[in-house]
Structure 1
Amino acid sequence: MPDAVQLAAFERTLPALNEAATWVSAVSFAAFALRGGARELRKLCYGELRARGFGAQAAQHLIKRVSDAYVALRAGTPGPPASLRRRKAEFTPVVFRPHAAHTYDDRCLSWNHDAQTVSIWTLDGRMRNVRFACSPSALKQLAAYRKGESDLVFRDGKWFLYATIDVPDPEVYEPADFIGVDRGIVNLATTSDGTNHQGRRLGRYRRWQAHKRAELQAKKTRSAKQRLKKRAKKEARHATHLNHKISKTVVAVAQRTGRGVALEELRGIRDRVTVPRDQRARLSSWPFHQLGAFLAYKCRRSGVPFVEVDPAHTSQRCPRCGRTERANRQTRDHFHCRRCGLAGPSDHVAGVNVRNRARSAWAFVNMPDPAPGPTG
């Protein structure tokens, strides 16, 4: 929450830092292509950065940012060898946006938790008593567990400091049982207890948002573009809020009843599953990965056991007799076992199968070591 003087310093400093990072990137690419390291870059760029008015630590962080960017580029997969994305990554230097985040360590940034102010380095000198706002619980965690560096971020007209905290994990208790969670599109989450968190409202909301975006895009006016920019992240925030509510409810029930949470392991599902063209946008916007991530970190924070199991045939397998057959699920919503006659909602059956697999997985992983036999 900077005042007018501090705001002017921030608005000058962050673009200048990123412009300098782009220059360091060009030097690194010309000299080393994608192989540059921080030590070699310091010899080439440190003196020039100091001459441009950057402090010693700011210059070191600029060089490290560029070096880390090329390390990440080498470790990543930019695409197939003949793709435009691959050629762009391999034959052009990394460019930093004018308001990309910049890293500060404790030499450039100091915190006063009682007054809720920070002292931060800028090109206009050290800016002291810059006020910041956060919730009381976040302030308590910041004071107790903050470690390492922080990032200065400009987003949607506001300034943020992203601070890293290292909260110790509580001890995971021995679960009495598990709650199996089946994720889907129509029903975002269905538990083995029969609780159903439907996604129909989210689907209607997304269709309405898509309709409004199409209307505004068709106008092609300045005010329409401003409205589009204002609404850009509204849909994502709505889905995130819904996933937080679902995951919080599931973890609270598990903690209250002394059980763990079991989930299907769905990584890479978009590469494995093919859908008709008219359903691709719906599948791509399905927030299943975010829901799983929220469940995982909330379980870890609360000491609730968390298990991911094989998702194969969870909606086609009968949890009573074990028969697995596609004909057991004749429709999307209904399950009916062809052998024993067990019937019910297919998502609930899938949640029960996830729970049963979690029981077996937990028992296998936590099986006690056999006692050593007698020695001869």
Structure 2
Amino acid sequence: MERTVCIQLQPNTEQAQALHKTLAQFTVVYNHVCAYGWQQGEKNGVKLHHATYYDTKALCPDLVSDLLIQARVKATETLKSAFTWKAKKEATYSKKVAKAQKQSKPVPVFKPVRCPRSLACAVRYNVHTYSLNWEAQTVRLSTTQGKMSLSFTVPHFSKRYRGCKIATADLLSRNGVWWLHVVVDAPEPVVEYHDEVIGVDLGLNRPAVTSQRHFLGSRHWKEVDRRRFRLRRKLQSKGSKSAKRHLKKISHKQMRFHRDCDHVLSKRIVQNATAGSTIVLENLTNLREGVHHRKGEGQRKLHSWSFAQLYGFIAYKAQERGIAVERVDPRHTSQTCSQCGHQARNNRRSQAVFHCRSCGYQLNADLNASYNIRDKFCLAQGGTSVLGGPLSDGLSSQASV
């Protein structure tokens, strides 16, 4: 399994200048390839290489050929994502126009996807352009001034990955500190299979509820978000330069806070599971396209919900304990009784209460959904029809509610 170890470099003044120049030239190459690919509508890596290699070599003669190629590879990846996003946005704009005309509302303004551009693109290294010595805590990097050896330190929480086989690495500067994000290949854990299956219902009101009757998350998290929203609204109404600087600072702080909450939540979910068991989540891909909230707190929460990041954290933490993570189709999990299987929209009396119209079974609505998620996966494994809907096809299933 692959893990990323963030090591802090300790360059001297001369080495720091060489790293800055390497980062600047790598960014120039990256932006040049992006501009050419965007203008020509080209996203094929081989064609981009033949069309831009000699031009970028002339622009940045001090950059070794391997770093030129890595910059082109990163630009190709970005272009593919940008073209996909552009096509998706153009396809959905006509639907938005038709909907606005049907409701007699003003036609929304089309915001085109612009050419990708970076101010400081992280330098990607491979086994040909860098080497790392875990024992001596030194790394040798290719720069515009030739190869240089730099000392580094490893965070205490990443020391268990020392000595693992290295793959690629990204060099970046953050607030004047140089970091190297090294991808290492760690051994897979050897764990005996356990037949326990845990359903987890993720939500906005309660961050996570498991079929083990664990209600995870903290009310304090929602209050922090509300307080920051009120502060952002106040600063946006001012519109001054200092207010905009403060807004940028708050945005970064909120992003770090949400990441920390997702780390805490994913750690608790995995800790409550037995090694070798299975954790089942809802597949919430494209959730925002299928759910429509009125403007207000519900819409704001939905669009700021980092469920994809949370799933990634759960997946990599579970992998270290040999726990499998699966996703199922979320349709009707909140409307179906986990006791008798009766499905009806009015079974959900409120946000917190589920009361079955058929058998009278009553419990917390999120806990009932976690039972249904667990049973849905178990039944799908046995090949039986589940909860009034088709069998889930795992990661490829689309969310709809």
Instruction: Give the TM-score, by structure 2 length.
Output: 0.78
TM alignment of 1:208-223, pairs within 5 A: 208-218=227-237, 223=242
SS at match of 1:163: strand
Label 1:173 to 1:276 Cα distance change in 2 as closer, same or farther (>3 A): farther
Determine if the alignment matches structure 1 residue 335 to structure 2 residue 345.
no
Q: Are the counterparts in 2 of residues 152 and 160 from structure 1 also a CA contact under 8 Å?
A: yes
SS at match of 1:317: coil
User: Cα distance, 1:325 vs. partner?
Assistant: 1.3
Equivalent in the alignment of 1:271: 289
Q: Are the counterparts in 2 of residues 260 and 304 from structure 1 also a CA contact under 8 Å?
A: yes
User: Cα distance, 1:63 vs. partner?
Assistant: 3.8
User: Cα distance, 1:322 vs. partner?
Assistant: 1.3
Q: Are the counterparts in 1 of residues 79 and 116 from structure 2 also a CA contact under 8 Å?
A: no
Query: Matches of 1:235 and 1:287 in 2, distance apart?
Result: 12
Q: Relative CO higher for 1 or 2, CA cutoff 8 Å, sep ≥ 6? A: 2
1:245-283, CA deviations, whole angstroms, 9 ceiling, x for partnerless residues? 222122122126x64212122211111111111121111
Equivalent in the alignment of 1:317: 336
Equivalent in the alignment of 1:21: 30
Determine if the alignment matches structure 1 residue 121 to structure 2 residue 142.
yes
TM alignment of 1:1-376, pairs within 5 A: 1-26=10-35, 33-34=41-42, 37-38=45-46, 41-42=49-50, 45-46=53-54, 49=57, 52-74=61-83, 77-78=86-87, 79-80=89-90, 94-128=115-149, 130-136=150-156, 138-147=158-167, 149-170=168-189, 173-198=192-217, 200-218=219-237, 223-255=242-274, 259-278=277-296, 279-364=298-383
Q: Are the counterparts in 1 of residues 263 and 313 from structure 2 also a CA contact under 8 Å?
A: yes
Q: Percent identity?
A: 28
Label 1:159 to 1:360 Cα distance change in 2 as closer, same or farther (>3 A): same
Q: Are the counterparts in 2 of residues 34 and 74 from structure 1 also a CA contact under 8 Å?
A: no
Q: Are the counterparts in 2 of residues 186 and 198 from structure 1 also a CA contact under 8 Å?
A: no
SS at match of 1:303: coil
The letter for the 1-side match of 2:131 is: S
1:199-236, CA deviations, whole angstroms, 9 ceiling, x for partnerless residues? 53222111111222334445555554444443332212
Query: Matches of 1:80 and 1:48 in 2, distance apart?
Result: 32
Query: Matches of 2:36 and 2:171 in 1, distance apart?
Result: 24
SS at match of 1:119: strand
Query: Matches of 2:64 and 2:92 in 1, distance apart?
Result: 42
SS at match of 1:247: helix
What RMSD, in angstroms, separates the aligned Cα atoms of the two structures?
3.0
How many residues align? The count is 357
SS at match of 1:146: strand
User: Cα distance, 1:329 vs. partner?
Assistant: 1.5
Q: Are the counterparts in 1 of residues 86 and 112 from structure 2 also a CA contact under 8 Å?
A: no
SS at match of 1:341: coil
SS at match of 2:90: coil
The answer to which of 189-198 and 293-302 deviates more is: 293-302
User: Cα distance, 1:139 vs. partner?
Assistant: 4.1
User: Cα distance, 1:343 vs. partner?
Assistant: 0.9
Label 1:325 to 1:20 Cα distance change in 2 as closer, same or farther (>3 A): closer
1:81-122, CA deviations, whole angstroms, 9 ceiling, x for partnerless residues? 697989655xxxx55323111211223222121222222222
User: Cα distance, 1:172 vs. partner?
Assistant: 6.3
Query: Matches of 1:82 and 1:269 in 2, distance apart?
Result: 15
Give 1 or 2 for the bigger CA radius of gyration. 1
SS at match of 1:118: strand
Equivalent in the alignment of 1:373: none
1:341-372, CA deviations, whole angstroms, 9 ceiling, x for partnerless residues? 2111111111111121222233449xxxxxxx
User: Cα distance, 1:12 vs. partner?
Assistant: 2.4
The answer to which of 238-247 and 210-219 deviates more is: 210-219
Query: Matches of 1:315 and 1:70 in 2, distance apart?
Result: 39
Query: Matches of 1:87 and 1:248 in 2, distance apart?
Result: 39
User: Cα distance, 1:137 vs. partner?
Assistant: 5.0
Query: Matches of 1:308 and 1:88 in 2, distance apart?
Result: 31
Q: Are the counterparts in 2 of residues 116 and 131 from structure 1 also a CA contact under 8 Å?
A: yes
Label 1:245 to 1:217 Cα distance change in 2 as closer, same or farther (>3 A): same
Label 1:23 to 1:294 Cα distance change in 2 as closer, same or farther (>3 A): closer
Q: Are the counterparts in 2 of residues 150 and 162 from structure 1 also a CA contact under 8 Å?
A: yes
